[in-house]
Structure 1
């Protein structure tokens, strides 16, 4: 979903980092554009007879406080591997949130016999409501999954996952790459940090970001093959790259997840991946994007079932 919210001081030529005044001015410009309670919490309420829905924190942000929820199996089996699915780390990436919810509504119970599936469908509810990549303090939660995190959203999720006291075997983090990455986010990033940001080629289609240190190529392949049944895979550019990174196979690039403080890196899972859907594609609808996220989760779980 495109972010049309205005931003303060987003000229790439700006060479002075934002201070508190500029961050406050940016925050004052943000407006509520949709409802977390209606779109997310209400759907979770309807799942209470099928799963444990636990509040793991609250994000204070005037005039509202945002409750944070994690979904767990009704019966936890220590003998089963645990899978973590996260959505809405970047609140503006709509299909990540709705893909996580749709998976819970349509598919999660089909895998309950094999896994303990844990889902945090909307990690950044303020970002969801205001259609923002950043949190209210102009911090990117998906660069903040590290010790002493400056982002409350990231810190709360890490604490909640640690409280499970179990190994996370696979972590599937649901994201989007949108046209507004170039028109809104990167100009805002340039202004905030006082560093010019080059625009990147927005790939038309679905792709994955694996972990440089732990690429688990076959796992990524299984997800790509599953998503192909729903929507198209992003082609690489003329240099064999996607968003500036070389592909390792069709539709897959790798990042150093832990070093960059990415969500899919903090769990130290054996099988990490980050999905990237392109909602602005003329070849895909919003429904296609949600289905692609669900297909990605299924592709990863089917691989793990087959492997064992």
Structure 2
């Protein structure tokens, strides 16, 4: 991947943004697609087979956009006696296959698992980010660094509050993400400008990989997810330094982060089996549809593994 530039048109190099720069950035954002048409309509079409709940709202009409209902989909006949599995998408709203992979899983595979598990899917945690194709929310806060107490992002805070109120044991959580070329052309330079720093990581892996939780690495689980995905698309190879996105590879196709320490969504539940998916839709060897199918395959692979290893 060609190294990009840290130069960004807002702010001064080496100086973190203040309120003025953040407001300039927000005023440049525009709606590019519809959360209500692309996501809400699909969720509502699932209401015969699943329970649909609104767990919160993002009051962003004040910014000239919409007030976004936050929706999740749950299996019917929920029981605290059954283990619970969670799938989240759209924590970074711009990552398209995360949102549509979660929806496609609901449309095609989820019902098969509802006898053994409580299934909960939050397909689009950041609808403003989905509509404006952004990593941040309107406050220039990254929801996937905000799963903390107290949370600086309402996107994270509201799903955290809902999950905290669930009864029973959560055994698995898979968070669906993408790495795209716009990470280098827009989001990494924007982050460097916002924080007044220099970015030195421009690596974008060509293929699918996983980010596990270093506190619960669950190597065999990660391998089962990758084995399922490999039937759909290619797994990313490490770079010449044995790394993916600058992080040492823990096993083929897997790097590990401390989920809770860094406020990542994969720290949401405390489940034993946790992973974050990353696909590369800009690859010459993959299509957007393959990326959606890879997300579904990841969830299915994880569920099949957990089903076979329940105590």
* Global fold match (TM > 0.5): yes
Aligned to 2:4: none
CA distance in 1, matches of 2:153, 2:9: 22
The Cα offsets for residues 6-39 of structure 1, whole Å up to 9 and x where unpaired, read as x96358x711111111111100000100000000
Q: In 2 relative to 1, CA 243–8 (structure 1 residues): closer, same or farther, beyond 3 Å?
A: closer
Query: How far apart are residue 140 of structure 1 and its match?
Result: 0.2
Q: Is the 8 A contact 1:10 1:189 kept in 2?
A: no
Q: In the alignment, which residue of structure 1 is the partner of 2:49?
A: 50
Equivalent position SS for 1:258: coil
Q: Distance in 1 between matches of 2:14 and 2:230?
A: 43
Preserved CA contact (<8 Å) 2:233 2:290: yes
TM norm structure 2: 0.94
Per-residue deviation, 1:182:
1.2
Q: Is the 8 A contact 1:10 1:190 kept in 2?
A: no
- Relative to the length of structure 1, the TM-score reads 0.95
Q: Which residue of 2 aligns with 1:36?
A: 35
Deviations 1:64-111 (A, max 9, x none): 100000111111122211001000000000000000000000000011
Determine whether 1:77 maps to 2:76.
Answer: no
For 1:9 and 1:59, the matched residues in 2 are separated by: 28
Give 3-state SS (helix, strand or coil) of 1:40's partner. Answer: helix
Following superposition, the deviation at residue 266 of structure 1 comes to 2.4
Residue 88 (structure 2) pairs with residue 89 (structure 1): no
The 5 A counterparts of 1:135-150 are: 135-150=137-152
Structure 1 distance, partners of 2:305, 2:144, is: 26
Q: For 1:61-210, list aligned pairs within 5 A.
A: 61-62=60-61, 63=64, 64-210=66-212
- 2:305 corresponds to: 303
- Give the RMSD, CA atoms, in angstroms: 1.3
Offset of residue 277 of structure 1: 0.5
Give the aligned partner of residue 241 of structure 1: 243
* Distance in structure 1 (CA, Å) of the matches to 2:216 and 2:10: 36
CA distance in 1, matches of 2:26, 2:170: 35
Aligned twin of 1:250: 252
- Stretches of structure 2 lacking an aligned partner (at least 5 in a row): 1-6
Give, in whole Å, the separation in 2 of the partners of 1:35 and 1:136. Answer: 17
Q: What corresponds to 1:27 in structure 2?
A: 26
Segments of 4+ moved more than 2 angstroms? 7-11
Q: Quote the Cα distance in structure 2 between the aligned partners of 1:306 and 1:127.
A: 36
Q: What is the CA deviation profile of residues 152-190 of structure 1, one whole-angstrom value per residue up to 9, with x for unaligned ones?
A: 100011011112233321110000011111111111001
Question: 2:209–2:279: 8 Å Cα contact kept in structure 1?
Answer: yes
Aligned residues: 301
Q: Helix, strand or coil for the counterpart of 1:220?
A: helix
**Do the aligned residues in 2 keep the contact of 1:8 with 1:26 (CA within 8 Å)?**
no
Say which SS state the counterpart of residue 260 (structure 2) adopts.
helix
Equivalent residues of 1:73, 1:118 under 8 A apart: yes
Rounded to whole Å, the distance in 2 between the matches of 1:282 and 1:209 is 23
SS of the residue corresponding to residue 121 of structure 2 reads strand
The CA deviation at 1:249 is 1.4
* Contact residue 257 and residue 264 of structure 1 kept, 8 A: yes
